[in-house]
Amino acid sequence: MMIGCPKEIKPQEFRVGMTPTAVQEAVAHGHTVLIETGAGVGAGFPDADYIAAGADMTGHAADVFAKADMIVKVKEPQAGERKMLREGQVLFTYLHLAPDPDQTRDLLASGCTAIAYETVTDGHNGLPLLAPMSEVAGKLAPQVGAWTLQKANGGRGVLMGGVPGVGPAEVVVIGGGVVGTQAARVAAGMGANVVVLDRSLPRLRYLDDAFGGVFGTRYASAGNTAELVAGADMVIGAVLIPGAAAPKLVTRAQLSDMKPGAAIVDVAIDQGGCFETSKATTHQDPIYEVDGIMHYCVANMPGAVARTSTIALGNATMPFLIALADKGWRQACEEDAHLLNGLNTHGGKLTNYAVGKALEIDVLSPALALKA
Q: DSSP letter at 71?
A: E
Q: How far apart are CA 331 and CA 31, in angstroms?
A: 17
Largest CA distance in the chain: 68
**Local structure of 52: helix, strand or coil:** helix
Q: Kindly provide the residue ranges of all beta strands, DSSP E only, lying in the chain, ordered along the sequence.
A: 2-5, 32-36, 56-58, 70-72, 90-93, 113-116, 170-174, 193-198, 216-219, 234-237, 263-266, 287-290, 293-296, 343-346, 349-350
Residues involved in catalysis:
96, 270
* Length, in residues, of the chain: 372
Neighbours of 16 (CB within 10 A): 32
